[in-house]
Amino acid sequence: MTTEETIAEDATGCCAGSRGDLRMYAGGRNVNGHVDSGGYPFDSLEDAQDYLFQRGSIAVPDAGAGSYRKVFETLGFTQVEVFEQSSSAGYWSFIVCDGDYWMLAFQENRYPYHGFNYSVDFDWQFGTKEECLKFACDRCT
């Protein structure tokens, strides 16, 4: 476990499951009023990436509060930076880069279930980290 993971899990009490795997399942999504409650496992990483791109959240039952970097990197993001992590329950915001564009990303606690949901806002894509951070900061004020 990395120092980053240890600090995140100690701060929240939300630890990774004992299996230590990051199996991904479909979380909920709403596409033009059609709600998909998810809950099913993905057959491949490509299926998970497609679901995420189609505004779905990715549920990772064994994730701890500090698993965000591994999850986003597994989903194909080349850089992950914490934007806001003030929630003691692990409801945190990030900026992620897919190699070309920076976007806002989110981690949400799955309480009362174990683990976290992960999502990315593909509606707003920025050419630089600074542009993405400015946009995120402007939305917070």
Q: Structural domain boundaries of the chain?
A: 3-140
Of 94, 80, 88, the closest CA to residue 136 belongs to 94
Pair of tokens at residue 134: 């400015």
pLDDT exceeds 80 at position 104: yes
pLDDT, tens digit (0-9, with 9 covering 90-100), for 19-42: 667 899 998 777 777 777 778 899
**What is the C-alpha radius of gyration for the chain, rounded to an integer number of angstroms?**
14
Which pLDDT does position 20 carry in this prediction?
A: 66
Share of the chain above pLDDT 70, in %: 97
CB 119 within 8 A of CB 94: no
pLDDT, tens digit (0-9, with 9 covering 90-100), for 59-72: 999 999 999 999 99
Which pLDDT does position 94 carry in this prediction?
A: 96
Tell me the average pLDDT across 111-117.
88
Q: Where are the alpha helices (DSSP H) in 13-141?
A: 45-53, 68-74, 129-140
Q: What is the DSSP string of 100-136?
A: S-EEEEEEEE-TTSSSEEEEEEEEEEESSHHHHHHHH
Which of these ranges, 29-43, 73-87, 110-124, has the smallest mean pLDDT? 29-43
Share of the chain above pLDDT 90, in %: 57
Q: pTM of the prediction?
A: 0.89
Which pLDDT does position 112 carry in this prediction?
A: 85
Which pLDDT does position 120 carry in this prediction?
A: 97
How far apart (Å, rounded) are the C-alpha atoms in residues 61 and 58?
10
Tell me the average pLDDT across 50-79.
93
Pair of tokens at residue 42: 């993905």
Tell me the average pLDDT of the chain: 89
